[in-house]
Structure 1
Amino acid sequence: MKRLTAMTGTYPRTRALKEHTVTSSAVELDFAPVEVAQRGFKAAVRELAYDVTELALMTFLVAYDAGKPLVLLPFAMNGGHHHKSILCRAGSVLTAEQLPGKTVAMRSYSQTTPTWVRGILADEYGVNVRDVRWLTQEGAHVEEYEDPAWVTRSSDGSLEDLLRTGKADAIIAGSGITGDDIRPLIPAPQAAAAAWEQRTGVVPINHMVAIRREVAEDAETVREVFRMLRESRAVAGEPERSGFGELRPALELGVRYAHEQQLIRKRYDVEELYGAARAALAG
């Protein structure tokens, strides 16, 4: 039996896998003691600490662009719409179209949620990413990556502090920021997201599963890992979100956004990102 090191967050969809309710006679996954996946991302891309790992989509793309020996499996761990993720002061009359020349703060420029938000702002509201002053609190998970010239590091407090004190005109945050003095920048964000999905056919992907390139050369291993991921999700009763065809629209758009925003140097074909796993899972 092949034993592989693994890292994912703990969710209903991974519980059966991490508790070894779902198993394989060919592959054993030895999970790192990580509950929140983001805490394992640096080790995954800087130390190549895991054979199989959950990764934020943009972390994977930046790592792939830097030459890290990782490829994707066609399994979306999580995702969702991000029209709601850019916030401004409730008393502000700011609109998305007025963002050029303004200051927008986020945790990291290479973070996946801000990348989706910036892409939506560009496509839907005509905002050129270079015309906004982007403030970040930290750098990328991938050590080799350097933020573009239009990004500035800030140490002036939390995202909420930056917004409430006026040091930022808007902030991008995935969740956890609420208050009567804060509102979504995009009006009726749920309706806007639904209309966007209908036009584009895309539900954004936040996290996927990656595998070391050398491990992906073993077709049986790839098939067993993929099977176990899907079965663990099925045990949780969650809807399927995997497969090359289903994930292609979101991945293609994510790659385009990453390239346009200078996270990656090349606009990769989605098929390339799977490496040998593509042939292993063909048909």
Structure 2
Amino acid sequence: MKLSVTTYDTTRALFDGSVPIDGVDVTTAPTLPDIYRSLIGGEVDLAEFGLTFYLRSLDQGAPFTALPIFPNRVFRHSCVFVHADSGITHPSDLVGKTIGEFGVYGQDSGVWAKGILMDEYGFQPELNRWVIGGLEHPAPPFEFTSHPHPDDVELTAVPEGKTLSGMLESGEIDALFTANVPQPVLDGSPAIRRLFPNYESVERDYYRRTGIFPMMHAIAAPKDVDAGLARAVYDAFLEAKDIAADQYRQSRRLFQVHHMLPWTNALFEANEQLLPHDWWPYGVAANHKALDAFLRYHFEQGLSARRWTVEEVFAPELLGT
């Protein structure tokens, strides 16, 4: 049986053999469209899957379920970029603007960012024009998934030969919701800045008030996955993640010398004041509030045919986790 997942610090022990899963071969995840096709085609048996693509597959009747394993999490106030001359300094300034989004209307990062802006700042996506396509390379909207959206949301594809990063830098679009930092930003372009320049403090305040640490991905499995196998995979991911967390804790004694990034200890100590001991939880109970928020956002943004519940979208044998 083959499981495809990205190599993160949370999964490294699955690859180096520290945490085996009996009868399961763990392989590195391919690109997103290939993950989807491989899972549909039976080339892999379980795979890391973006939450929105998993939910879209359920709406299309795909025979999948999800395991409450979340190897990828990112706070998402930081994922909204604006053109420096767009006049956007506050979320309220997004009204009437042209906004880009990579690949699909409603990437996991975009679902979270839109939902948070809707909840906290009154953002209304239908008041914007949305442009969908490639971020750094010219590409049409994703072909491997469905593209639901409300009738009152205006969507167009990126013009042929253009990219969202280039259009943002040139001012052809006013803002960009993206899971990846645009290359012009990494290159130091003065033409692009974040909607929330002080995103860390904003995200810390958001977590302090809500307790939500947004998750992007889960592990998708066949709907008829064996209960024993589902539990074994869950337990292995949990152990691998806990090993990684303990390595960070133990490395404090040596001032995190295993990492090249300076002042990692200071960051770890600051996080200890805000985050719980298990700051990256797996399972349903510890993530129920965040998952329910994502499912609500997905429905409110017109991406789900109906409002899914947490209990419906995760494997029944793991609902007690």
Q: TM-score range by the shorter chain?
A: 0.7 to 0.9
- The letter of the residue matching 2:213 is V
- Work out which of the residue numbers 153, 156, 173 in structure 1 matches 2:157: 153
SS, match of residue 67 in structure 2? strand
- Work out which of the residue numbers 161, 165, 174 in structure 2 matches 1:169: 174
Offset at 1:269? Answer: 1.1
- Partner Cα distance (1:190, 1:87) in 2: 15
Q: Mind listing any 5+ residue stretches in structure 1 that lack a counterpart?
A: none
Offset at 1:58? Answer: 1.1
- Partner Cα distance (2:199, 2:145) in 1: 34
String of CA shifts for 1:117-151, please: whole Å, max 9, x gaps. Answer: 11122112212121111110043465344444422
Q: Percent identity?
A: 27
Offset at 1:254? Answer: 0.5
- Work out which of the residue numbers 61, 71, 76 in structure 2 matches 1:77: 71
Instruction: Please give the residue correspondences for 1:1-283 in structure 2 after superposition, counting only pairs within 5 Å.
Output: 4-24=1-21, 27-34=22-29, 38=32, 40-44=34-38, 46-94=40-88, 95-107=90-102, 108-137=104-133, 138-140=140-142, 142-149=144-151, 150-156=154-160, 157-177=162-182, 178=185, 179=188, 180-215=190-225, 218-237=226-245, 240-278=280-318, 282=320
Q: TM-score, normalised by structure 2?
A: 0.78
String of CA shifts for 1:22-72, please: whole Å, max 9, x gaps. Answer: 124xx32223453x5535433255435422110111111111222111111
Q: Is the 8 A contact 1:5 1:52 kept in 2?
A: yes
- Partner Cα distance (2:314, 2:40) in 1: 20
- The letter of the residue matching 1:56 is G
Go from structure 1 to structure 2 and tell me whether the alpha carbon gap of 1:263 and 1:47 turns closer, same or farther (over 3 Å shift): farther
Q: Is the 8 A contact 1:5 1:31 kept in 2?
A: yes
Go from structure 1 to structure 2 and tell me whether the alpha carbon gap of 1:62 and 1:8 turns closer, same or farther (over 3 Å shift): same
Which is worse superposed, 37-46 or 133-142?
A: 37-46
SS, match of residue 71 in structure 2? strand
- Partner Cα distance (2:59, 2:39) in 1: 12
- The letter of the residue matching 1:200 is T
Offset at 1:188? Answer: 2.0
Q: Mind listing any 5+ residue stretches in structure 2 that lack a counterpart?
A: 134-139, 247-277
String of CA shifts for 1:67-106, please: whole Å, max 9, x gaps. Answer: 1111111111111211111111234431321222110001
- The letter of the residue matching 2:234 is F
String of CA shifts for 1:139-171, please: whole Å, max 9, x gaps. Answer: 346534444442211135222211122210101
Which is worse superposed, 60-69 or 47-56?
A: 47-56
- Partner Cα distance (2:56, 2:229) in 1: 25
Aligned length: 273
Go from structure 1 to structure 2 and tell me whether the alpha carbon gap of 1:44 and 1:98 turns closer, same or farther (over 3 Å shift): farther
- Partner Cα distance (1:64, 1:277) in 2: 19
- Partner Cα distance (1:106, 1:145) in 2: 13
